[in-house]
Amino acid sequence: MKVGAVFAGEGRCVATRVWRAVGTWDRMRGLLGRPPLATSEGFLIEHCGMVHTFGMRYRLDLAFLDARGRVCKVVHGLRPARCAGTFKARSTLELAPGTLAATGLKLGDELNWREVA
């Protein structure tokens, strides 16, 4: 798993600490068994158009991204034991609840993940 940051558009930072799951195990596990994301943290799951919160005890904000990294769907505060997704998505950015509203992230925004050293 790699760590980086996610930026929107002209360099506006959406989350300063984002784990990027690229391997099968990391993608399957996701945030299960992990503590809730803090403000400005996120979890980016590659090759993922649907997520669930079964077995989790906290809400998530979700941004589903198409093949070009554009936001094609947003979900605010997905509760535990729920599913969300879209066939258009190629990856999913999971964020702490309230992050979508606080950052003004919306449909059509283009997101970029950058690895940090």
Q: Domain 2-115 is of which CATH architecture?
A: Sandwich (2.60)
Whether the CB-CB separation of 102 and 72 falls below 8 Å is answered with: no
pTM for this model (two decimals): 0.92
Core vs surface per residue 25-53: b (16+ CB within 10 A) or e: ebbeebbeeeeebeebbbbbbeebbebeb
User: Which residues in the chain show pLDDT less than 50?
Assistant: none
Question: Can you tell me the distance from the alpha carbon of 33 to that of 87, in angstroms, rounded to the nearest whole number?
Answer: 27
pLDDT for position 117 = 64
pLDDT for position 35 = 84
- Residue 9 corresponds to which amino acid? G
Whether the CB-CB separation of 6 and 116 falls below 8 Å is answered with: no
pLDDT for position 24 = 78
pLDDT for position 50 = 94
pLDDT for position 3 = 92
Domain boundary assignment for the chain: 2-115
